[in-house]
Amino acid sequence: FARSPTKRWWPLLLEKGYAAFYHGFGALAGGNVAECLHDLTGMPVRAITIANTTNPKAEKISEAEWKRLSMGLRQKQSAVCAGTIKSFQKMRGGGFGLQPGHAYCVARIVPEHHFLVLVNPVKVGREYCGPLCQGDSKMTAAMKQASGIDERRKDWFAIPFSIFTEHFASLTVCAIRGDDAENLPEGPTSALSGEWQSDEVSLRGGCTSFASFTTNPMFVLSNPQSAPVTVDFVLKQPCQRFAADGTRKISYRPAAVNVMRRLQNTAGSALPPGKVEGVGKAALAKFGAASPFVTSSTYAEVVAAPRYLNQRD
């Protein structure tokens, strides 16, 4: 298997090993890419919902975000997957050969030419036949060079940003440290635990408008430097898949993280444990799943901590 020149066996072997880790394929029912990548790497994994007709409320991926994702791939600091929407029946081109409800690998992002390079890891279904497919005259020599696609590999293909965002529902970004990242500085890590405790029946702990929000576990983040720093936040719950037998539904608690900076502050005062002084707060980020329909044990987000952020903020 390891000597297979086409490498087609690797996804199947990895899937089989992953299922054995969870005591059978039945335990993988209802799983998702983010949870799988976190299990396999132990690294932070964040999911980006793509705004399209199936999810119009999601934020559009900005040009700056495309550039960040592209840099992460080039420096081998990120592994990126993309999942298509569940149905192409009402889509133009009938999906252009893409498979609905299928996960693809993102090999490269080329922001200057507004396209991605995707890989179909298990080679099911038809080949991609949309814009910028192999043989498309609009694929210039410069674009071909930037794509790095070997035309003998039919499972690799370029796809414009516009077609991608129309047919894909999500991007999953896993932080890794590849060969090119060996000389990059590795920041400190901290593991903190906490849980909102209240006698109330209703789930009010996640709403900043209620007084019960102040009973949430709170942790202080400081950045004394003159430049912003990025922080990888990971929200985890005990995994339920070890006990799953494929017949009962996995149910995680609604959970989320609010990263905030106070707008008003009393000079010389620090945040006491479990309390938020003052009402002025600016949200830097919020992530997780606050609804009852939680399908993963882990959520992650990258947050920029402002410069000169001290314990009074």
Q: What are the catalytic residues?
A: 102, 120
Who contacts 283 (Cβ-Cβ below 8 Å, separation ≥6)? 208, 258, 259, 260
CB 204 within 8 A of CB 198: yes
What string of DSSP letters covers 220-260? Answer: ---B-SSS-EEEEEEEE----TTT--SSSPP-PPPEEEEEE
Listed residue (225, 228, 238) closest to 259, CA to CA: 228
Please give the Cα distance from 175 to 192 (Å, whole number).
20
Q: Which residues pair with 125 in a beta bridge?
A: none
CB 84 within 8 A of CB 159: no
Who contacts 42 (Cβ-Cβ below 8 Å, separation ≥6)? none
Instruction: Count the Cβ atoms, other than its own, within 10 Å of residue 288.
Output: 20
Who contacts 311 (Cβ-Cβ below 8 Å, separation ≥6)? 220, 222, 270, 271
